[in-house]
Structure 1
């Protein structure tokens, strides 16, 4: 099992979770963070640190977020490791709770499908 960053992270990209991760399993993309399932040690330290509750144990994922298991695995292979906390985007609060943000990952998801 592993933990999964979900759609709520898109455009918010808070990095409080990165600061507590003991194994540097978070990877940063332009719109969100993802967790490398091969590196995650299931410690759950990141879950309470996420201010928007965007991280779930994969067994507790809401049904509409199941696709993020694959998204995290695929994008963590493409995006670089983030090793420490960085400031959130200036407009992060405006994106909190906005539905259907997966559209902002479209170009990255298309790239994965082409590979």
Structure 2
């Protein structure tokens, strides 16, 4: 098992999770972060750090977000590695409250 970034991250991109990751498994897209399942060691330290609760243990991922397992794996191969915290997106606080954000995920970087 690995950890997965879910829908709550879209439009926010808080990087508190990146700062605590001991193996540098996060990758950054235009408005979303993903975890590389081939690098993640399943330590879980990132879960508590996410202010929007977007990081899940794969087995705890809500069923309606099942596609994010494949999205994380695929996009981690395309997007650049991020190894330190950066500022969240300018409207992160507004996006943090939104639901059903999948259509807003920008896959191109």
Interval containing the TM-score (normalised by the shorter chain): over 0.9
- For 2:10, the equivalent position in structure 1 comes to 10
Give the superposed CA RMSD.
1.1
Paired residues, number:
108
Compute the TM-score of the two structures, normalised by the length of structure 2.
0.95
Structure 1 unmatched ranges of 5 or more: none
- Residues 7-86 of structure 1: matches in 2 within 5 Å? 7-86=7-86
Q: Please identify runs of 4+ aligned residues in structure 1 that moved more than 2 A.
A: none
Contact 2:31-2:89 at 8 Å conserved across structures = no
Distance 1:88 1:94 in 2: 11
Contact 2:12-2:88 at 8 Å conserved across structures = yes
- Deviation string, structure 1 residues 78-99 (Cα, Å, up to 9, x no partner): 0000010000011100001311
Compute the TM-score of the two structures, normalised by the length of structure 1.
0.91
Distance 1:66 1:60 in 2: 10
- Residues 86-105 of structure 1: matches in 2 within 5 Å? 86-105=86-105
Specify the structure having the higher radius of gyration (Cα). Answer: 1
Contact 2:6-2:55 at 8 Å conserved across structures = yes
